[in-house]
């Protein structure tokens, strides 16, 4: 069991090999779904999705344009304010383009539903969602997810881009944070 600098112990939930295998499967499914388009824009929601999006787009068998958004509805609080704050917006014109939002983890769905609403105002041809991790037991807002890497239990996880107090993003697996 690994230990973070802050002292919490980690229990591996999803191994590096399981992640790599699932990404290959997701990439095949996404490539097939978009094989008729040359308009695909993949938008990663930062910061947590950066590792996942890098690995996923390299496995896609089609041309893609990549862009990023950084949004927050939490500020420095533990509970969402309900107001979406755009910290970094996409730079790509999304009108009449096929959009694939890449998330690291979908929990309550509040932030993602607001991102979807915002991007729909930009008149894309289509808008779909792919997430590495999904916590269906925590969902408060219904969001239509097209591709899910793994459904996980209601545990606090880190690794593979997901952090805890800015630590653990560099782990090559997904781990549950266990308080000492």
Task: Express each pLDDT in 2-18 by its tens digit.
Answer: 555 566 788 999 999 99
Q: For residues 38-66, give the mean pLDDT.
A: 94
Q: What is the C-alpha separation between 96 and 28, in angstroms, rounded?
A: 24
Q: What is the C-alpha separation between 47 and 49, in angstroms, rounded?
A: 6
Q: Domains of the chain (ranges plus CATH)?
A: 23-156 (3.40.50.2020)
Alpha carbon 168 to its chain centroid, in Å, reads: 16
Q: What is the C-alpha separation between 44 and 131, in angstroms, rounded?
A: 10
The residues assigned a catalytic role are 107
Per-residue model confidence as pLDDT tens digits over 149-158: 999 999 999 9
The larger pLDDT score, comparing residue 78 to residue 176, is at 176
Say what the pTM is: 0.90
| Alpha carbons within 13 A on the beta-carbon side of 114 | 18
Q: What is the C-alpha separation between 64 and 41, in angstroms, rounded?
A: 6
Q: What angle do CA 176, 169, 82 make, to 5 degrees?
A: 80
């Amino acid at each position: 069991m690994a230990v973070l600098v802050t002292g919490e112990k980690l229990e591996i939930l999803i191994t590096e090999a399981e992640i790599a295998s699932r990404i290959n499967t997701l990439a095949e499914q996404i490539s097939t779904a978009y094989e008729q388009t040359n308009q695909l824009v993949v938008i990663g929601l930062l910061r947590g999705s950066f590792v996942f999006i890098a690995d996923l787009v390299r496995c896609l068998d089609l041309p893609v344009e990549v862009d990023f958004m950084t949004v927050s509805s939490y500020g420095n609080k533990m509970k969402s304010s309900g107001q979406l704050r755009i910290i970094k917006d996409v730079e790509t014109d999304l009108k009449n383009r096929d959009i694939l939002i890449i998330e690291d983890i979908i929990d309550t769905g509040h932030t993602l539903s607001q991102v979807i609403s915002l991007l729909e105002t930009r008149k894309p041809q289509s808008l779909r969602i792919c997430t590495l991790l999904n916590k269906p037991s925590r969902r408060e807002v219904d969001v239509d997810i097209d591709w899910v890497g793994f459904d996980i239990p209601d545990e606090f996880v880190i690794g593979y881009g997901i952090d805890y107090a800015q630590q653990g993003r560099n782990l090559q697996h997904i781990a549950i944070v266990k308080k000492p």
